[in-house]
Amino acid sequence: MKPVKGISGISLALAALAMVLISGCERHSVKEVYYLVGSNMASSYWKTAVAGFKKAAADYGVTAKVAGPDNYDPQSERTELQNAVAAKPNGILVSVSDVGVLQPEIDAAVAAGIPVITFDSDAAASKRLYFIGTNNLEAGRLGGRRVAEKLAGKGNVVFFTIAGQPNTEERLKGFKDVFSAQPGIKIAEVVDIKGAAVTAFDRTQQLMAQTGDKKINAFVCLDSVSGKMVADAIKRTSDTTRELVAWDVNPDTLQAIKDGVIDATIAQKPFTMGYVGLKALDEVFHSPPSQLNKDFSTDAFAPYPVFVDTGTALVDKGNVDGYLAAAQAHAE
Going from N- to C-terminal start, the domains of the chain cover 29-134+270-294, 136-267+316-331
Specify the range with the lowest mean pLDDT, choosing from 2-16, 106-120, 144-158: 2-16
**Beta partners for 187?**
157
Give dist(CA 272, CA 51) in Å, integer. 9
> What average pLDDT does range 16-44 have in this prediction?
76
More confident residue, 327 or 193: 193
Question: Is the predicted pLDDT of residue 329 greater than 90, yes or no?
Answer: no
Residue 20 has pLDDT above 70, yes or no: no
How far CA 55 is from CA of 8, 35, 63, 83, 209, in Å, comes to 42, 13, 11, 23, 46
| pTM attached to this predicted model | 0.88
Read off the pLDDT of each residue in 175-198 and give the average, rounded to a whole number.
96
Positive or negative, the Cα torsion across 48, 51, 55, 56?
A: positive
- d(Cα 111, Cα 39) in Å, to the nearest integer? 23
Whether residue 15 is predicted with pLDDT greater than 60 in this model: the reply is no
**Exposed / middle / buried, residue 4 (Cβ in 10 Å: 0-12, 13-18, 19+):** exposed
* pLDDT at position 90: 98
In this prediction, residue 330 has a pLDDT band, given cuts at 50, 70 and 90, of confident
**DSSP state for residue 4 in the 8-state scheme:** P
Q: What are φ and ψ of residue 92, in 5° steps? A: -130, 130
Asked if residues 154 and 185 have their Cβ atoms less than 8 Å apart, the reply is yes
Question: Same CATH topology for 29-134+270-294 and 136-267+316-331?
Answer: yes
C-alpha–C-alpha distance, residues 44 and 248, integer Å: 10
Rounded to the nearest 10 degrees, what angle do helices 99-111 and 74-86 cross at?
10
Average pLDDT score over the chain: 92
For residue range 203-255, what is the model confidence (pLDDT) as tens digits?
Answer: 999 999 999 999 999 999 999 999 999 999 999 998 989 999 999 999 999 99
Q: Is it the case that residue 6 has pLDDT exceeding 60?
A: no
Mean pLDDT, range 143-171, rounded to an integer: 97
Helix (H) or strand (E) holding 247: strand 243-247
* The pLDDT of residue 275 is above 90: yes
Question: Alpha-carbon distance 44 to 249, whole Å?
Answer: 9
Which among 288, 226, 76, 244 has a CA at the least distance from the CA of 151? 244
Q: Which CATH superfamily is domain 136-267+316-331 in?
A: Response regulator (3.40.50.2300)
Rounded Cα–Cα distance for residues 139 and 143 (Å): 6
Q: What integer pLDDT is reported at residue 35 of this predicted model?
A: 98
Check whether 31 has a pLDDT greater than 80.
Answer: yes
Confidence of residue 11 (pLDDT cuts 50, 70, 90): low
Q: How far apart are CA 259 and CA 68, in angstroms?
A: 33
With residue 13 as reference, give the H or E element that holds it. helix 7-25
Per CATH, domain 29-134+270-294 is 3.40.220.10 = no
Confidence of residue 7 (pLDDT cuts 50, 70, 90): very low
Q: Tell me what the mean pLDDT of segment 174-194 comes to.
A: 97
In percent, the amount of the chain with pLDDT more than 90 equals 88
Residue 27's pLDDT is: 78
Higher pLDDT, 209 or 15: 209
Which residues are paired to 158 by β-bridges? 189, 219
Q: Which residues contact 95 (CB under 8 A, 6 or more apart)?
A: 37, 38, 39, 49, 118, 119, 120, 121
**What does each C-alpha distance from 325 to 43, 89, 245, 261, 319 come to in angstroms?**
20, 37, 21, 20, 10
User: Is residue 293 over pLDDT 50?
Assistant: yes
